[in-house]
A and B are shown apart, each in its own frame.
Chain A
Amino acid sequence: MDTFIFMQVFSLGHGPEGGGSSEAFAFLQHYWWFLISLLGALLVFLLFVQGGQALLYSIGRTDEERSLAVNALGRKWKLTFTTLVVFGGAFFASFPLFYSTSFGGAFYVWMAVLFCFVVQAVAYEYRRKPANVLGAKTFDAFLLVNGILGPFLLGTALSTLFTGAPFTVDRLNLADPGTNGSTVISQWTTPWYGLDALAVVWNPVLGVAVVLLAMTLGCQYLMNSVGDEPVFCRARRRMLFCGCGFVPFFVAWLVHLLFATGYTENPAGLITAEPYKYLHNFSQMPFLAVGLAVGVGLVLWSVYAGWRGSRKAIWYGGAGTVLAVLALLLCAGWNHTAYYPSLADMQSSLTIRNSSSSLFTLRVMAYVSLLVPFVLAYIWYAWRAVSRRPLTRGELHGDGHQY
């Protein structure tokens, strides 16, 4: 980006366009897609909380061991939850057409996501509290449901950014004064409202891959954060199993992606199908290919390091996950790619150009985004402050806050 565009990006002029150029607008659309992708990548990494929950009964054989795992994971659940909230909010603000199209169309999927995250939030705080009415087992079951269903649904939804969904978009539907819903801009064209994503086999394949990745990372996190030999040994074994399970699912999905036909947008806004679109994207943006390769390599290395007994495996796995998911999401949206292809009407497909907020709003939020490094810094500080020492059985019997 040259200095001129940089100045335009951060100069708030008058009116909705703020006096900016189309180059500045395009830059901000790419910038916000990068931020959304980064949030998405961090969210997938933070799903280690869900992965750990999914293995709660497998890693924790006794009440005390399960409590160790829950208390270690519980110190991070709010971070995952907050990242999900911010991911949703940032998507809403920067690409509102996606928000209205996907959320308003894939209704069942997003409702299922909501249900399984709501039960997680209360499960940690209530599971061991006296008089919790539903009983500890119910709340542990909530953790299990969230641990498996959460990553699966999010992985499935993530895959639809490549495989598409059946919807149409017509902004001028607002010109219809009818009361039968004809004014609705984004409409789903099947009666399945999101469940249709399960019919495209590659979506659940990525869903399963994300579940297994979350479990792998969850084991690595527990190896890092719990100072207890039996829990460590079990987590190490489960990690190898989940890591080995993750590879075929992810590789199958990735190979399919590289050979898939994607949609591309020309300068006039016309969308056409392009065979090997994502392969082309990686070749035309080699830094993404490198990022993906390094990311996947780091995840594999983390499994190896974990198997060798390293407590630091989570950091390799985490960094690798963030890099790989970031590269995939950037591949979905950059290079004139339709990041939400419509299977019902190709021209309704969403690109970062036709679905973003206005230049003015993206620019205002770009200022706000300057806070992100500061936010990351204090999150890192708090993480270190709370988790500097692994959690031990002794702490469970102290007078500190317990889950």
Chain B
Amino acid sequence: MVSDYLQTVDWSRAQFALTAVYHWLFVPLTLGLSVLVAIMESCWVRTGDEFWRRTARFWMRLFGVNFAIGVATGLILEFEFGTNWSNYSYFVGDIFGAPLAIEGIMAFFLETTFIAVMFFGWDKVSRRVHLTATWLTAVGASLSAWWILVANAWMQYPVGCTFNLGSVRNEMTSFWEVAFSPVAVNKFFHTVASSFMLAALFVVGVSAWYLLRRREERMARQSIGVASVFGFVFALVTAFTGDRSGALVARVQPMKLAALEALYNGQAGAPLTVVGVLRPAGSRTADDPFYFGLGVPKLLSVMSFRDAQAYVPGIGDLLAGNPKQGILSAAEKMARGRVAVAELARYRAASEAGDRRTMAAVGRKFDPATSEGEEFLSEYFAYLGYGYLDTPAQLVPNVPLLFYSFRVMVGAGVLFIVVLGVVWWLNRRNRLASKRWLLRTCVWMIPLAYLASQAGWVVTEAGRQPWAIQNLMPVGVAASKIPGASVSVTFFLFLALFTALFVAEVSILLRQIKIGPDAAGNSKPQKL
């Protein structure tokens, strides 16, 4: 029977996933649209053409509808680290809390302060001051993303810290390693570039709808002109950073890579499966996991290690170990983790008994300044999280979820590059309006962009299971000790609330688009 605590863990995971998915429905559009609005407003300030003011204000109105709900869900995510993941919050709060605080002080205030000038300052401040406020809003949004993604990257690749036995937690030793780890830097550029691309697809899609309806044609064409080139450039950046992401994952989260490729048996010169259909869990074997799969030979080795002959470990290698490749088995890692946990228990017992000699002896093992400590920390403590696991099977994330999500993300990403490139080209030659099939395609790119964006986060977050902090803390010991039933109630309350607000948000957005740029959004307000 599953203990109440494990139910709490599962419900907490579900609640956090729900909030994160919902949050990410709004944030990418906020990130990208803020920049696009700033570009359009810059055109107004530079040319003095009222058309650009009108266009910028229209997109700004859609931005406003979207922004509020993103802010609200961001608050929930921040607080849920404490309410649902209190053990995690203490164990790494010394490192993880700092980016969140810095985000608030450095970025969030910037964004929310100047957004007020952006919305209400049209007739109250000069053009240049207003434009500055609009750009600062965009900068604040991206800066905010930077710190949040630094925090997220640290969970996947914990660096710049050491364990302090006295406080029984991880503590920061290098701010720069945390803030500028390769995973953090790449994650930022990949996430923000993909958000810019999503916003560009949104603008292109909405503008395409106007062209299909033969409404607001100048605004639609000019908006497409700005958004398609913007989106095309950032789609390429997304692809480039995505490729780099794969190489980083191969080094720091090999199980995630093996799972998203459904690679059960490691091999040198591993192929990349472009498309494939997995067999169900019961009939899926390591030697034959697919009903069918179409792969490109050696491509996975090239993408992972930049070497066509490189060995890519599979799920089997990571569980059973592969001495030839220097891969420890999961059982060995679990045994080492248990040694680390047992040392903590020994320290606890000595502490309660007032046995200072034993406390000092254990203390030396956790002291990185001594050779004994250096060895213990790298050979045993590095696997602490494994010590809390019951079976090696817990180390394998959901393979089908990752496999298909990854392909949706990458496949859609390739399609976006093509569509944005073609739209840019045709719009420049003034031939876009006659390609109605392409305009319809552009409209359908909007939901696809959201799907791809969500799929990317599924790969990132579901792929690192069972870890709350890679190798150090599994989710099973990261949660708060609260009743599972309580978390299930809040889960359903959030689900109901989010659903209602999402329906309202989409309905308002669609109506605002239908109204168009001329009528102010509140010109026919709903009666009270």
A interface residues (Cβ-Cβ under 8 A, vs B): 15-16, 63, 66, 75-76, 78-79, 81-82, 84-86, 88-90, 92-94, 96-97, 99-105, 107-108, 110-111, 113-115, 117-122, 124-137, 140, 171-172, 174-177, 179-181, 183-188, 191, 193, 357-358, 360-361, 364-365, 368-369, 371-372, 375, 378-379, 382, 385-386, 388-389, 399-402
Contacts and interface: CB of A to CB of B under 8 A. Distances in A.
B89 A382 contact: no
Interface string B156-200: 000000101001110111010000000000000000000000000
A16 B164 contact: yes
A359 to B, nearest CB: 9
Interface stretch (B80-88, B210-218, B246-254): B80-88
27 contacts: A76-B116, A78-B115, A81-B72, A84-B75, A85-B104, A86-B109, A88-B79, A90-B101, A94-B97, A100-B82, A104-B84, A104-B481, A107-B83, A122-B504, A129-B511, A132-B507, A136-B525, A136-B528, A174-B344, A175-B348, A179-B388, A184-B480, A191-B483, A358-B167, A361-B95, A369-B105, A400-B520
B108 A63 contact: no
Contact of B477 (A117, A125, A174, A386): A174
Contacts of B338: 177
Contact of B113 (A93, A101, A382): A382
B510 interface: yes
A382 B97 contact: no
B120 A75 contact: yes
A188 B482 contact: yes
Contact of A121 (B68, B110, B528): B68
- Report which residue of A171, A180, A401 has the largest number of chain B beta carbons within 10 angstroms of its beta carbon: A401
Contacts of A357: 93-94, 97-98, 171
Contact of A402 (B76, B123, B522): B522
B276 interface: no
A386 B97 contact: no
Interface in B235-264: none
Q: Nearest 4 A-B pairs (CB), nearest first?
A: A104-B86, A96-B93, A103-B82, A93-B97
A131 B508 contact: yes
B106 interface: yes
B387 to A, nearest CB: 6
- Report which residue of B74, B95, B102, B345 has the largest number of chain A beta carbons within 10 angstroms of its beta carbon: B102
Contact of A93 (B93, B168, B347, B508): B93
Interface stretch (B3-11, B277-285, B293-301): B3-11
A136 B347 contact: no
B352 to A, nearest CB: 9
Contacts of B171: 16, 357-358, 360-361
Interface in B377-396: 387-388, 390
B353 interface: no
A365 B102 contact: yes
Contacts of B476: 179
A248 B526 CA distance: 41
B90 interface: yes
B347 A172 contact: yes
A114 B526 contact: no
B172 A402 contact: no
A97 B94 CA distance: 9
Contacts of A379: 109, 113
Contact of B78 (A16, A89, A97, A183): A89
A96 B98 CA distance: 10
Contacts of A125: 64-65, 67-69
Contacts of A137: 528
B116 A386 contact: yes
Contact of B121 (A63, A134, A386): A386
A140 B527 CA distance: 12
Given A103-B89, A104-B83, A104-B480, A89 B104 contact: yes
Contact of A104 (B5, B89, B515): B89
Contacts of B317: none
Contact of B79 (A97, A110, A130): A110
Interface in B111-130: 112-117, 119-125, 129
Nearest to A367: B175
Nearest to A111: B490
A85 B100 CA distance: 9
Contact of B104 (A15, A90, A127, A180): A90
B71 interface: yes
Contacts of A120: 72
Contacts of B275: none
Contacts of B515: 130
B83 A401 contact: no
Nearest to A191: B483
A121 B344 contact: no
A133 B522 contact: no
A385 B117 contact: yes
Contacts of A382: 113-114, 116-117, 133
B104 A86 contact: yes
A385 B115 CA distance: 12
A16 B97 CA distance: 16
B46 interface: no
Contacts of B507: 131-133
Contacts of A174: 87, 91, 168, 341, 344, 477
Nearest to A354: B167
A124 B68 contact: yes
A191 B500 CA distance: 31
A117 B75 contact: yes
B512 interface: yes
Contact of B93 (A100, A127, A176): A100
B268 interface: no
B101 A134 contact: no
B434 interface: no
Given A16-B162, A128-B526, A401 B508 contact: no
A49 B29 CA distance: 27
Nearest to B76: A114
B481 to A, nearest CB: 4
Contact of B97 (A89, A126, A128, A180): A89
B69 A121 contact: yes
Contacts of B370: none
A101 B387 CA distance: 24
A66 B106 CA distance: 34
Contacts of A191: 483
A86 B101 contact: yes
Contacts of A93: 93, 97-98, 100-102
Nearest to A169: B90
B331 to A, nearest CB: 16
- Report which residue of B115, B501, B511 has the largest number of chain A beta carbons within 10 angstroms of its beta carbon: B501
Contacts of A129: 65, 508, 511-512, 521-522, 525-526
A353 B69 CA distance: 38
A254 to B, nearest CB: 29
Nearest to A14: B173
Contacts of B79: 88, 103, 110, 113-114
Contact of B82 (A104, A108, A386): A104
Given A93-B97, A121-B71, A179-B6, A99 B497 contact: no
Nearest to B504: A133
B25 to A, nearest CB: 13
B120 A401 contact: yes
A16 B101 CA distance: 19
Contacts of B479: 181, 184
B87 A135 contact: no
A85 B147 CA distance: 14
Given A16-B162, A117-B75, A358-B167, A63 B101 contact: no
B72 A176 contact: no
B105 A81 contact: no
A118 B75 CA distance: 8
Contacts of A369: 105
Contacts of B76: 114, 118
Contacts of B162: 16
